Amino acid sequence: MKSQENFYDVILIGSGIGALACASILVQEKKKKVLVLEQHFKAGGFTHIFRRKQKYLFDVGVHYIGNLEEGTFLRKVFDYVTRKGVRFQKMPFVFEKFVYPDLTMALKSDWGEYQKDLVALFPQERKGLQSYFAAIKEAKRWFQSYLIKREKLLPTVLHLMLEMWDKLGKDWGQLTTQEVVDSLVLDLRLKAILLSQWGDYGLPPKKSSFVYHALVVDHYQNGGWYPEGGAGKIYEAIKPILQETQSAVLLNHKVEKIIVENGMAKGVLVTTRGENNIPEEKTFFAKQIISNVGLYGTYVTLLDDLKLEREKILDFTKRYPSMSALSLYVGFKEDPRRLGFLGENHWIYKSYDHNENYELANAFFEKEADPTVVYLSFPSLKDPLAESHTAEIIIPGMYDAFSPWKDKPWKQRGDDYALLKEKIAQRLLHYLDKIYPGFGQLVDFYELSTPITVEYFSKQHRGAIYGAACVPERLHNPLFAARTPIPNLFLTGADVLSPGVAGALLSSLFTYAAMEGVPALLMLLAKLR
């Protein structure tokens, strides 16, 4: 039954940064009364934080964000949706290290300096390096043009002109990262260094689209930033904005189904816990629905309609699986700077072959081999407000190792599950102690998060941390857009634009344009400028 209590202007499914940004924009620009529904007991999606032992603060998904200098477009969008409620701390000048068996490359917060360092190491590749960095810029421009056409942001005549212009250049959307880099440089070690950040979009070079690789490399050309106090500050800043229109954020509310009547999205069916912890069903209705749980979560798990689109997404997901991962959260007794860490991220690779490193990632579990890929990050060294020192260790894969427990409730998966987690955690800590002697002695606390937990809370297939796979085929699939075939139903988040905080945040602008029209977006952009 529809009533004033359960009727809203807009319902948002999920509370990740894409949904929160949409909610903030709709409240500020259109005075909409919105409802954000989150099945977790904390809001924020991959931007939420949690504490352990009272003093250790961990970010679930935010490790660093690029392109946040004052005056950049991304910074202006962040400042707008949070009303400047989040402060960002610049990371050290050397903000990443690419660690290989016989070489460690420092990535500096200055693209020019980084290129000089590469030329000094590989002088014979000077021309190829120039072509590579030019290709990064060209692929980014191609993506911007692609988005304008896909989201219909220009009049038809201008779209046709843009399409004709694009045909004069290279179709970057067709190329894999490996194909482009192989065509430009020869040295195997240099190729590996240039590709070291593939973990930021979740696929190795032979599988990934060069466009997404280019977006990541360009994104970090001036270094990285971290939100002071942790990514949870984002929701804290947006929450009071939503209260201005009596909007609501309901936690522990799991959306089971999008209600479609007469071919139009009308509302959602939700389960929550009622009195005496008894499961209870509720329905909420709205003029517009926004899903922030990705294409798989929306078309496969929440819709009974659109059988053809559902099959297309199932086929895409099966053919192009995205990366799942294990995350080990570590609390330290002492300052990790005593071991030489200054707050930079470390990408640690077994070999210079990233494709092999990715394919053999599961050997860590299956054959008890050393990990082939390890990402090491120090949130406490990036955050001036940190109370205690922490680290986060991430390795790809491992979904199948934990899949036997995927249908059991979170925190109720039994002793065997806990023992497997403990064994893997110990092996990871032992490996880090081998690479950085003394690391293990600093550890006071650790907790392992598995892909099945990510799958449970995010609705992402097999716990894919970046959503749909960043393959070339994604760029030619019309379902990856803010509009859906169902009137009044829209998408936001990483699947609409690109992986990561920046991609999910900026997707909200395309969702806003799809809902309110291009003139409304242009007025907002004018405000931001």
Whether residue 82 contacts residue 508, with contact meaning beta carbons closer than 8 Å, is answered with no
Range of weakest confidence among 178-187, 435-444, 453-462: 453-462
Measured distance CA(390)–CA(349) in Å, rounded: 22
Write down the pLDDT at residue 274. 74
Q: Are 235 and 45 in contact (CB under 8 A)?
A: no
Report the chain's C-alpha Rg in angstroms.
23
Is residue 50 over pLDDT 70? yes
- The string over 76-109, giving b where at least 16 C-beta atoms fall within 10 Å of a residue's C-beta and e elsewhere, is ebbbbbbeebbebbbbbebbbbbbbeeeebebbb
Average pLDDT over every residue of 264-286: 91
Q: What is the pLDDT of residues 338-383, one digit of tens each?
A: 999 999 999 999 999 999 999 999 999 888 899 999 999 999 999 9
Strands 279-291 and 489-491: parallel
Per-chain mean pLDDT for the chain? 94
Q: What are phi and psi of 468, to 5 degrees?
A: -65, 150
Q: What is the mean pLDDT of residues 418-445?
A: 97
Are 432 and 446 in contact by the 8 Å Cβ rule? The answer is: no
Query: Residues 320-344: pLDDT tens digits?
Result: 999 999 999 999 999 999 999 999 9
- CA–CA distance from 102 to each of 192, 341, 431, 435 (Å)? 13, 19, 17, 12
Q: Identify the band that residue 168 occupies on the pLDDT scale cut at 50, 70 and 90.
A: low
Mean pLDDT of 221-230: 97
pLDDT score recorded for residue 162:
67
Looking at residues 149-172, what average pLDDT do you find? Answer: 73
Residue 242: its H or E element: helix 232-242
What pLDDT does residue 149 have?
A: 85
Bridge partner list, 373: 349
457 C-beta neighbours (distance < 10 Å), count: 21
Instruction: Check residue 473 and give its pLDDT.
Output: 96
pLDDT at 275 over 80: no
pLDDT for position 229: 96
* pLDDT for position 250: 97
Residue 458: which pLDDT band, with cuts at 50, 70 and 90? confident
Token pair belonging to 72: 């950049």
Specify the pairing of strand 373-377 against strand 390-396.
antiparallel
Q: Find, among 483, 99, 34, the residue nearest to 247 by Cα.
A: 34
Considering Cα of 254, then 257, then 259, then 260, what sign does the dihedral take?
Answer: positive
Distance CA 393, CA 400 (A): 19
153: confidence class by pLDDT, cuts 50, 70, 90: confident
Q: How confident is the model at residue 526 (pLDDT cuts 50, 70, 90)?
A: very high
Q: What pTM value is reported for the model?
A: 0.95
Please give the residue that has the higher pLDDT: either 452 or 276: 452
Q: What is the pLDDT of residues 71-95, one digit of tens each?
A: 999 999 999 999 999 999 999 999 9
Read off the tokens for 92: 């050290």
What does the pLDDT look like over 397-431, one tens digit per residue? 889 999 999 999 888 999 999 999 999 999 999 99
**Does 391 have pLDDT greater than 90?**
yes
- CA 367 → CA 358, 361, 393, 396, 420, distances in Å? 15, 10, 20, 15, 14
> What residue segments make up the domains of the chain, in order of their start?
4-50+58-87+228-319+469-528, 111-222
How is domain 4-50+58-87+228-319+469-528 classified at the CATH fold level?
FAD/NAD(P)-binding domain (3.50.50)
pLDDT at 158: 67
Distance separating alpha carbons of residues 213 and 200, to the nearest angstrom: 9
Asked if the model's pLDDT at residue 3 lies above 60, the reply is no
